[in-house]
Amino acid sequence: MNENVYTQKKLLYIIIMTILAVVLLVLAAVAGFTSGNGPELSQPTSSDGSEISSVSEEGLLSDPELSSDEDDPSLPSEGSSVPDTSSVSEPYPAESSEPVSEISAEESSSEISEEPSEETSGQGIPEWKPYTVKTTGKAANGKAFPSAKADSVSAEYVAVYNVTKGEFIYVKNGGAKAYPASMTKLITAMLAEKYLDKDEEIVVGKEIELVKPHSSLAYLYVNEKLPLETVLDAMLLPSGNDAAYVVGVNVGRKLLGDPNASLEACLEAFCKEANRFVSALGCKHTHITCPDGFHDDAHYSTAADFALISAEVVKNYPLVKKVCAKKRAKDGYKLDWTNTNNMLEYSYVNGLKTGSTGEAGYCISISARAEDTDIIIIIMNCKTAAARTSDAKTLLSCAFGWY
């Protein structure tokens, strides 16, 4: 065979074999990737050798559970509205440059399941014990109280209290645990009158950012300066949760004697004093965790306890009583607040405060004077605002003996 021809065939053979080898390698690589056996990628590491997560830390944060007060999405609005655990009386944590630590599924589940226990004295929540309330069964004009008629009202919890004589006339589940919603603001208002100077200028601060979603608002703004009575107007007429936090924090600063105290410290001091205050009134079944009444399972009272709280407004807190009797008020700038208490249409009714959340239902504390007698009526957990109004009319006529 010619040497040149042999060399050409040899080169051709090498070229063919090379092409086949390349094709086989390509096919093998493709097969490896499609079967999941491709080359393993290493996790990027930091300078200290630890793995860096590819998930953004923002993904570890979740929105707070939503609840409401006065303007629950399931309830018709009673005041101006905008937003649980309703329940958080602590301020939102400040932004930090520190990395957010991940919580294991087991730890997260444990935290969620550990709800406040009424029997855990370590958390400052008194043990719950149902109790009975002694009643006289006598209306303000001396006639027998028509208990059968009062029993027919739709409210789950009722208390009728004769402030003038200092005695309960009638109760319906008066010693049972119930949620007071924005009636809580009567306590907040009394502490404001007790600890804050009536002539001082209240400066609205960052505490209004602690208000929960779907809260009723007075629409205060940071750095707004208002006299105390106007702040109470904002809290008690449109039931502004923002105003309640302003009051709570300012009371807390006075209690601590520190104008620069943190919001968390101020609110903690406020709640501690609120619980001491109601206990001194004889309320042994009330526990306060926030200044506005936004729902919290650990924030509760009874109809009978709230009758005593409301009677204290009538007897010893003229500024709060004055504000509760207003049908309308203005902030001196542009806002015009209307009282959520429609029972003020009756000349003998002079207060006090409504409340409503999904858990509390529709509530109201009514103060009225007739027959030379001051009467308090507490209505809690009505299904609708209309039912609350109907129950209020029935109980007022029963309380004064107008039947």
More confident residue, 122 or 130: 130
In this prediction, residue 243 carries a pLDDT of 96
Give the best-scoring range by mean pLDDT among 71-85, 102-116, 257-271: 257-271
Place of tokens 């009636």: 183
Lowest mean pLDDT segment, chosen from 35-39, 46-50, 104-108, 308-312: 104-108
In this prediction, residue 125 carries a pLDDT of 63
Average pLDDT over residues 340-346: 96
**pLDDT band, very low/low/confident/very high, at 21 (cuts 50, 70, 90):** confident
In this prediction, residue 70 carries a pLDDT of 53
Residue 286 has pLDDT above 80, yes or no: yes
Q: Let me know: does 357 contact 295? Beta carbons within 8 Å.
A: yes
Instruction: Enter the tokens of residue 380.
Output: 């809690």
Lowest mean pLDDT segment, chosen from 21-30, 42-51, 317-326: 42-51
Instruction: Enter the tokens of residue 251.
Output: 């009371």
In this prediction, residue 371 carries a pLDDT of 92
* This prediction's pTM: 0.71
More confident residue, 187 or 122: 187
Residue 283 has pLDDT above 80, yes or no: yes
Residue 163 has pLDDT above 60, yes or no: yes
More confident residue, 131 or 238: 238
Residue 53, SS3 per DSSP: coil
More confident residue, 375 or 78: 375
Place of tokens 């410290």: 265
Model pLDDT for residues 98-113, shown as the tens digit of each residue: 333 333 333 332 222 3
The percentage of the chain sitting over the pLDDT mark of 70, rounded to a whole number, equals 72
More confident residue, 133 or 90: 133
Q: Is the N-terminal amide bond of 308 cis, ω within 30° of 0?
A: no
Domains and CATH numbers, the chain: 147-400 (3.40.710.10)
Q: Let me know: does 168 contact 162? Beta carbons within 8 Å.
A: yes
In this prediction, residue 52 carries a pLDDT of 33
Model pLDDT for residues 309-340, shown as the tens digit of each residue: 999 999 999 999 999 999 999 877 778 999 99
In this prediction, residue 5 carries a pLDDT of 54
- At residue 137's C-alpha, the angle toward residues 132 and 139, to 5°, is 135
Q: Let me know: does 243 contact 220? Beta carbons within 8 Å.
A: yes
- At residue 227's C-alpha, the angle toward residues 340 and 265, to 5°, is 85
Q: Please report, for residues 116, 207, 215, the alpha-carbon distance to residue 210 in angstroms, rounded to integers and kept in the order given.
A: 21, 5, 11
**The three-state (H, E, C) secondary structure of 226-247, written as one string:** EEHHHHHHHHHCCCCHHHHHHH
Question: Phi and psi of 88, rounded to 5°?
Answer: -85, 115
Residue 385 neighbours by CB under 8 Å, 6+ apart: 75, 76, 78, 356, 362
Lowest mean pLDDT segment, chosen from 3-12, 119-128, 189-198, 290-299: 119-128
Residue type, 129: K
Model pLDDT for residues 149-160, shown as the tens digit of each residue: 999 999 999 999
DSSP state of 138: B
Instruction: Enter the tokens of residue 263.
Output: 């919001």
Lowest mean pLDDT segment, chosen from 31-40, 71-80, 100-109: 100-109
Residue 118 has pLDDT above 90, yes or no: no
d(CA 141, CA 136): 13
CB-count burial class (<10 Å; 0-12, 13-18, 19+) for 128:
middle
In this prediction, residue 82 carries a pLDDT of 36
More confident residue, 130 or 353: 353
Question: Phi and psi of 100, rounded to 5°?
Answer: -80, 125
Average pLDDT over residues 378-400: 97
Q: Let me know: does 196 contact 230? Beta carbons within 8 Å.
A: no
**pLDDT band, very low/low/confident/very high, at 78 (cuts 50, 70, 90):** very low
Residue 349 has pLDDT above 90, yes or no: yes
